[in-house]
Structure 1
Amino acid sequence: MLRFAPSPIGNMQLNSLRVALINYIVSKQLNEELLIRIEDIDKEKNIEGKDKEILELLSLFSIEYKTVIYQSENLKYHQKMAMQLMSQKKAFSCFCSDEKLEELRIEAKENDKPYYYDGFCETLSDETVLNCNAPFTVRIKKPESTISFTDLLKGDFSYEPFMVDSFRILKHDKTPTYDYACAVDDMLYDISTIIRTEEYLSNTAKQIHVRNTLNYTKNIDYIHLPKIINVKTGEALSTLDELYSVKHLVEEGFLPSAIANYLVLLGTETPTEIFTIEEAIEWFDIKKVSNTPVEFDIEKLKSINTVHISKLDEMRLSKILGFADSDIGKLGKLFLEEASTIKEIKSKIDLIFSSKTPLEGFEKEFNNLKDCILTAPFIDDFKLFENYIIDNTELKGDLLSNLLRYIITGTNSGANLSDIYPLIKNYMGEIVK
């Protein structure tokens, strides 16, 4: 089983969606199920409703999964296994205050040394522990030998015991720490492959150590995807930058199919630039994904989005735009020469259906044109429609062209009216109002 493990502490970012998509693709290739684990153990940081928003986005991107579990629901298992480790002398109570530990961290930093726990509480006698009424955390004893593992993208890694350290597994309130909870949950749900971003690479040794100490021997394959960086700044996409949240991009009019296409394309060998996730399942090779940072370019996403919009069924595009008329879908595609998102296309269509005020200096001509169109019979052909206006208003030439374009589209440039008119001829009474 594979797992995607988001935290409900903010909007889903592109890095997270990329991880979810690749987990889904690989789960299909391996014929294994995908589990969604909401990592909600940090109650103070959780944002109400974000868990549901995450699941809605996964559904929007057609990411199928077996079930959803909440990490907090496994608290009894986290605590039970911690008690087991303590009874086996593989973990111990730590009475060191946060203030004292912070002093040690500062001291280590001032001496230009990495901070590691000094082991003070590890040697306390059972009697001392029993008689101590101070609040305590629980620490797992550091490993006795090197922790080694192979990342399928990045190769072999080894961490000496002091690097893994005697880290906390339960906090003062006896809720689990991140690495401990992840390790236990991966055991509970028989996870076979973990695909996540490279920022969690350093957590891997600690999580392996927890499972080793609990005598869990099943091998787990690790794949740490490189970070996504902004092509303009060269910096990693910030989790705080809402411009690159999945929700924002969808609201801006990028199709889920286009976003998914681009995220899988990043750093990947593909037979074609434009594809669906279903097609990617057939040829995607996780071992050939780039192990160096990949560049996100919003302009490239726009070009891919344009292609995906062009491939939409006209009726479906029409419904996305708020209509139920394939001609409006065709109209939307007509604007792809100057627009690249659903939002941009919709703004142009909204402008067509908006009320227009007379152009300054041409009020009389504008009103004559408007009255003519409103009283005109239904005319199927644009050239005949234009001739009818000439015959009934005496407007012609550039003046007619400019006024007619403005009264129909609300702009003075864009696609040819002869191409637009056949698609909106049934709405002239709504457009010229």
Structure 2
Amino acid sequence: MLRFAPSLTGDMNVNDLRVALFNFIVSKKLNEELLIRIEDIDKERFEEGKDKEVLELLNLFSIDYTRVLNQSSNFKYYQKLAMQLMGQKKAFACFCSDEKLEELKQDAIKNNKPIVYDGFCEKLSDEAVLEVNAAFTVRIKRPNDNIKFDDLIKGTLDYSSDDVDSFVILTHDKNPTSNYACAIDDMLYDISFVIDTEDKILNTPKQIHIRNSLGYSKKIDYLHLPKIEVQEEISIKSLIEEGFLPAAIANYLVLLGNKTPKDIFTLEEAIEWFDIKNISLDNPTFDIEKLKIINKKHLILIDELRLSKLLGFADEDIGKLAKLFLEEVSTLKQIKEKIDSIFSKKLVIKGFEKEVSKIINCLQHSPYFENLNELQEFIKNNTGLNEESLSKPLYYVLTGLNSGPNLNDIYPLIKNYLGEIVRC
């Protein structure tokens, strides 16, 4: 089983979604289940409603999962196993104050030494612990030996005892810390493959140490993805709002830092040829212009009827009309602005005030015309406008734009909406 544990302290970003996509793809390739883990124990950092928002986004990107786990439902296991570790002398009560710990930290920085716990409370006898009437945290004892594990793209990684340290597994209020809860969850749900970003890599030896201390020996495969470099944080929600298709965003995030047989593909296609060995060790850079190119290509490929529905219609002709604007725009939002301009109330354009008024009035009383030439002849005959004075204002009246695709291409796709286009 694989698991995806989204951050619930803010909007899902491009790195979060990339991790979700890779977990999904690998789970499909291995025919394994995918679990979504909701880390809702830290109530101060947990943003209400973010879990639902994440699940909605995963569904939008067609990322299938078997079940959703709320960490709060496993609270009893976290405390029970912490007590087991304490009973086996593999964990201990720590009464050190925040001020004392900060003092240790500053002293280590001053002397250019590793920031590690000094082990003071580890040496306390059981009798001394019972005599202390103060709140305490629970720390797991540091490992005696280095913690080694294999990362599927980074190779063998080796962490010293100081890297792992005697870290806190239960806080003063006896809530589990993130690393401790994650390690227990991976045991409880038989996780076999962990995919995350490289900034979480130091969590791995700590989680391995917890499981080792509990006698859990199952091998877990690890893959830590190089983080996407962005100038500023980019939320997936904002990309959707800007009119990028989920299929295009997924395409781009799988393509980034990855050797693929082609640039434009679906998630289903990616599952077929995906290979971890093709992932680069370098940090890829997010390029919004590249995403626009990919998005435009997906818009070209999309079914016209489906495209029209995304724009609020249910007409294949509107989908075809939308694609005419792809010469100059690249997102759904930009296309919608073009379509909206066609159906918006027409004002006037400078230099053609009278012409626009005459054309609108004429079209409000015109019969249905199959082709543009017949319509233009009708307007000329009823307004006295000639070819030269008709062209530009007619384009504006029918599109709300001053320029764009050829009117001969546009008219067949809007002729059935003419009454709505020239309404008062």
| TM-score, structure 1 as length reference | 0.96
Amino acid at match of 2:250: A
Deviation of residue 107 (structure 1)? Answer: 2.1
Give 2:113's aligned residue: 113
Matched, 1:316 2:306: yes
Deviation of residue 112 (structure 1)? Answer: 2.7
Matched, 1:35 2:32: no
- SS where residue 229 of structure 2 aligns? strand
Is residue 314–residue 328 contact of structure 1 (8 Å, CA) maintained in 2? Answer: yes
- SS where residue 195 of structure 1 aligns? strand
Residues in 2 aligned to 1:147 and 1:396: alpha-carbon distance in whole angstroms: 85
Amino acid at match of 1:340: S
Give 2:287's aligned residue: 297
- SS where residue 156 of structure 2 aligns? strand
Give 2:332's aligned residue: 342
Residues in 1 aligned to 2:149 and 2:321: alpha-carbon distance in whole angstroms: 55
Could you tell me the percent identity over the aligned residues?
64
Residue from 354, 372, 379 that aligns with 1:389: 379
Amino acid at match of 2:295: N
Residues in 2 aligned to 1:349 and 1:335: alpha-carbon distance in whole angstroms: 9
The unaligned stretches of length 5 or more in structure 1 are: none
Give 2:399's aligned residue: 409
Is residue 14–residue 246 contact of structure 1 (8 Å, CA) maintained in 2? Answer: yes
Residues in 1 aligned to 2:244 and 2:251: alpha-carbon distance in whole angstroms: 11
Matched, 1:141 2:141: yes
Amino acid at match of 1:366: V
Matches within 5 A, 1:168-317: 168-230=168-230, 233=231, 238=232, 241=233, 244-317=234-307
The unaligned stretches of length 5 or more in structure 2 are: none
Residues in 2 aligned to 1:181 and 1:362: alpha-carbon distance in whole angstroms: 70
Residues in 1 aligned to 2:301 and 2:91: alpha-carbon distance in whole angstroms: 58
Residue from 346, 352, 360 that aligns with 1:362: 352
Residues in 1 aligned to 2:202 and 2:306: alpha-carbon distance in whole angstroms: 46
Q: Deviations over 1:166-218 (max 9, x none)?
A: 11000001011111111111000000000000001111111110000000000
Residues in 2 aligned to 1:112 and 1:11: alpha-carbon distance in whole angstroms: 37
Q: Deviations over 1:379-420 (max 9, x none)?
A: 011111112212221212343111011111111111111111
Give 2:20's aligned residue: 20
Deviation of residue 75 (structure 1)? Answer: 1.0
Deviation of residue 312 (structure 1)? Answer: 1.2
Residues in 2 aligned to 1:325 and 1:285: alpha-carbon distance in whole angstroms: 40
Deviation of residue 362 (structure 1)? Answer: 3.2
Deviation of residue 82 (structure 1)? Answer: 0.3
Residues in 2 aligned to 1:358 and 1:187: alpha-carbon distance in whole angstroms: 69
Q: Deviations over 1:141-177 (max 9, x none)?
A: 0001111011000011111112211110000010111
Matched, 1:132 2:122: no
Q: Deviations over 1:265-299 (max 9, x none)?
A: 11111111111111111100012211110111101
- SS where residue 229 of structure 1 aligns? coil
- SS where residue 52 of structure 1 aligns? helix
- SS where residue 138 of structure 1 aligns? strand
Q: Deviations over 1:213-246 (max 9, x none)?
A: 000000000000000013xx5xxxx5xx3xx101
Is residue 243–residue 334 contact of structure 2 (8 Å, CA) maintained in 1? Answer: yes
Residues in 1 aligned to 2:7 and 2:72: alpha-carbon distance in whole angstroms: 12
Amino acid at match of 1:48: E
Residues in 2 aligned to 1:397 and 1:361: alpha-carbon distance in whole angstroms: 16
Residues in 2 aligned to 1:396 and 1:267: alpha-carbon distance in whole angstroms: 58
Deviation of residue 113 (structure 1)? Answer: 2.5
- SS where residue 156 of structure 1 aligns? strand
Residues in 2 aligned to 1:150 and 1:82: alpha-carbon distance in whole angstroms: 27
Q: Stretches of 4+ moved more than 6 A in 1? A: none
Deviation of residue 361 (structure 1)? Answer: 4.3
Change (3 A) 1:414 1:361: closer
Q: CA RMSD in A?
A: 1.1
Give 1:59's aligned residue: 59
Is residue 7–residue 40 contact of structure 1 (8 Å, CA) maintained in 2? Answer: no
Residues in 2 aligned to 1:368 and 1:25: alpha-carbon distance in whole angstroms: 59
Is residue 114–residue 162 contact of structure 2 (8 Å, CA) maintained in 1? Answer: no
Deviates more, 1:356-365 or 1:298-307: 356-365
Is residue 142–residue 164 contact of structure 1 (8 Å, CA) maintained in 2? Answer: yes
Give 1:90's aligned residue: 90
Give 1:81's aligned residue: 81
- SS where residue 96 of structure 1 aligns? coil
Deviation of residue 363 (structure 1)? Answer: 2.7
Give 2:365's aligned residue: 375
Amino acid at match of 1:155: G
Residues in 2 aligned to 1:416 and 1:113: alpha-carbon distance in whole angstroms: 71
Give 2:154's aligned residue: 154
Give 1:326's aligned residue: 316
Q: Deviations over 1:36-57 (max 9, x none)?
A: 0011221101111000000000
Amino acid at match of 2:276: I
Amino acid at match of 1:373: L
Q: Deviations over 1:327-358 (max 9, x none)?
A: 00100111111110110000110111000112
